[in-house]
Chain A
């Protein structure tokens, strides 16, 4: 029941939003998303230590085809939903007064929250696909209507890219469905159907699923839509894309590929992991050479996600647990960093790293916030990034040590581009652009402080979250 309510509140709010007067638009959206978050937090605090699906709702939907509206949460879903509901209020709050956003904008964000939660709680293959696609429509319109100069071309590329991947996934899901005993999309039956297939068939399905999830994350070489889209999207769009939406891809790997296609994973998982690790190095090197700070963060996101993907494809409990905790930290860090970029851009009218400098004297609070997020991103111990990357590299090492060695470079390279960016924007002499740099407004503080707190909380007490997902991960990997 709780699960259904978590989907319903954003949906109802998204519709009601259209009838709210323009000047109350933002306030209404924040209230609605905060209510969702509080409910989710309460559910999280009561969440039982069990690997089973909790709070299941199961209603027949398209009965003639064995499709049910079946939703519920295990520990993995719970954490993903918690991340989503935590970030959405902050994303809405990050809209500044000077930018006039119509109620449609907030409605689209709330609609997207509904779809994202839906993806994380679906226990029916068809329903999962519907939510998966539903999440694409609002973000497409957010980018198309409020994006930058080249938005038309870039967003269409993004849409077609991701749609292509998901259509292949749909073919794979239908194939699994036709191999279930009683023709149903129920997740357990699909698992059984997948495991009963021979290795070559599993391999083809693995490829189809990988296309969908790999494009969403994105994994090298399927990433070409990502830097352009992140750059052209409005700040809130970039936050939604990088903070939550790319987690759909990783979640998909954990939820669908690992338990359904074990034979294919042992055969082709190697290739997927090498692709992910090549992506880590490749994106890190490109990030070092970028001078546009938004593009730099976009590439750094590819690098971080590559490491998560590699850890998850390693298919052992440590790697998957690391992937889950790193999804939380990456969501928090990247949303914070994109907000920092947004502040920089609004104050200085530029995104060129070279033309900034000396902000620390003008705006000490801003500089501190930026520093903490940077430390989280470079995985310093006691920050959130450290826990995740440590577990991920540990998981990869168990699978194949050489991969861990190559993938571990991400920490060094990450430190290079993040610290260089921090140094050249905040330290040194002030430039023409940064002379009159104002410190954070109360609104901006309200966005950043919860994020900074979470950077530290996950860094020091990761077990709050790890213990929730642990039974579910064990159950998933044991193949029941």
Chain B
């Protein structure tokens, strides 16, 4: 609970910073605030907290673990995005938006009530809509924001309709009451439709095929730091909420909804991976890659294996986000230097900047799932849970999809080590970016070697 209070306070403070002429010192304050939020979240861990507000929110270990993960990702993201927002747009209101959306993200992983889920999603999404359109002079950014808003509202409609039907059957918004009601009464028809509508709504948010059409355009059009935010924090929160809902509420109906989700996973894995191979822009490739990773994550929901699946999603979202932040940081710097975002812009990077090329290679290996990076263990743990719940067929399909993934991730690696057509200008990497890239790369390898550091959180 204290996490939400600190983050809300930090958000309001950031909002006032513009009026109080406090812009210069704002950034350290935000980092300190996030560190404090992390510290107090961890302090909650051992205190066996009670549900809050007539059990609207329940900060169990699952919620605390995901909150921590979201704060870590946000911390790294702020270090990555600082320069862009300070130099190119008005920093304070956008930073405030991001912090408010973190409040939404934390609610999404700690709700115990469907209304709280809805509120969390809306708080997160509204900020994200504005952020996507934050490059006001750029028509593509405007398009991205508008498209995101329309599609997001549409998805929320499905979600609300689903919540309504579930409420109609169970007479409650409380997750545990709903679960008991479904387990004891025989009303599968309406419940099933409600579950499917919730599934559609959450698949929209998590950008799973066939509800992914908004994602490539929005990711491509939004400014690169914002895209990084959507691909990391938003995705982590979406899957935290997704798993929590289906794990607590609907385990008794798994045989019905898992079949639907099975097909969604297979479609996501293949359509996203195959489309990503055909992209020429690295940013668009990363957008499709983010959809593909949603597919791997959804395997953990299909193959519900108790808390182990929750751990798998926690580990996967965190490590995927860390590698994605590396990738987007390098992309941001390369694109700023050359004005291009295609694979060609990366040519010769190994010659002009070995550090950037090394961290990019590690990030790509991690996203492709090659040991000893963290991306490998994330996939491994999800596959292990799937095999344990007799979904071996799905794992074999996912393995083939992962092989397709190697094609496009290695295109970046090959470009980095390829001789450029004309000699390129060396990229200057600022101290802050150097630090964030160093931390993310170190974490990618460290967490890959010692996954227990994260797994023991739940």
Contacts and interface: CB of A to CB of B under 8 A. Distances in A.
Contact of B451 (A62, A137, A152, A164): A62
A397 interface: no
Contacts of A65: 381, 384
A292 interface: no
Interface string B337-376: 0000000000000000000000000000100001110001
Contacts of B255: none
A180 B62 CA distance: 29
Interface stretch (B46-54, B80-88, B154-162, B401-409): B401-409
Contacts of B388: 178
A174 interface: yes
A168 B451 CA distance: 22
B280 interface: no
B384 A174 contact: yes
A133 B456 contact: no
A38 B340 CA distance: 53
Contacts of B380: 170, 174
Interface in A40-69: 62-65
Contact of A156 (B383, B387, B414): B414
A168 B399 contact: yes
A62 B452 contact: yes
A189 to B, nearest CB: 16
A249 B392 CA distance: 24
B399 A174 contact: no
A175 to B, nearest CB: 6
B410 interface: yes
B392 A175 contact: yes
Contacts of B365: 137
Nearest to B456: A64
A160 B406 contact: yes
A307 interface: no
B417 interface: yes
Chain B interface secondary structure, helix, strand, loop or mixed?
helix
B455 interface: yes
A5 interface: no
B395 interface: yes
Contacts of A159: 406, 410
Given A62-B451, A145-B417, A171 B396 contact: yes
Contacts of B376: 133
Nearest to A175: B387
Contact of B406 (A163, A171, A177): A163
A168 B452 CA distance: 25
Contacts of B396: 168, 171
A137 B387 contact: no
A175 B372 CA distance: 21
A64 B455 contact: yes
A171 B387 contact: yes
Nearest to A137: B370
A156 B381 CA distance: 26
Interface string A160-203: 10011001101100110110000000000000000000000000
A250 B427 CA distance: 47
A446 to B, nearest CB: 31
A130 interface: yes
A178 B452 contact: no
A164 B398 CA distance: 12
A362 B403 CA distance: 50
Nearest to A168: B399
* Residue with the highest number of chain B CB atoms closer than 10 Å, among A129, A174, A175: A174
Interface string B378-391: 00110110011000
A64 B387 CA distance: 17
A254 interface: no
* Residue with the highest number of chain A CB atoms closer than 10 Å, among B376, B384, B387: B384
B418 to A, nearest CB: 8
Contacts of B417: 144-145
A167 B402 contact: yes
Contacts of A129: 371
A134 interface: yes
A134 B387 contact: no
A159 B368 CA distance: 12
A144 B455 contact: no
A116 to B, nearest CB: 15
Contacts of A62: 450-452, 455
Given A137-B365, A174-B387, A64 B372 contact: no
A178 B387 contact: yes
Nearest to B350: A145
A156 B452 contact: no
Given A145-B417, A160-B406, A174-B387, A167 B372 contact: no
Contacts of A134: 371-372
A133 B406 contact: no
Contacts of A175: 387, 392
* Residue with the highest number of chain A CB atoms closer than 10 Å, among B376, B402, B410: B410
Contacts of A178: 384, 387-388
Contacts of A168: 396, 399
Contacts of A64: 452, 455-456
A138 to B, nearest CB: 12
A164 B403 CA distance: 7
Nearest to B451: A62
Contacts of A137: 365, 370
B314 to A, nearest CB: 13
A65 B383 CA distance: 13
Interface in A136-157: 136-137, 144-145, 152, 156
Contacts of B403: 160, 163-164, 167
Nearest to B415: A152
B274 to A, nearest CB: 15
B452 A171 contact: no
Nearest to B365: A137
B205 to A, nearest CB: 30
Interface in B197-246: none
Nearest to B455: A64
Interface in B276-293: none
A428 to B, nearest CB: 41
A130 B380 CA distance: 11
Interface in B251-272: none
Nearest to B376: A133
B378 to A, nearest CB: 13
5 contacts: A62-B452, A134-B372, A136-B370, A163-B370, A175-B387
Please provide the 4 A-B residue pairs with the shortest distance between their CB atoms, ordered closest to farther: A133-B371, A167-B399, A130-B371, A174-B387
Given A171-B396, A174-B387, 5 more contacts: A130-B371, A156-B407, A167-B403, A174-B383, A175-B392
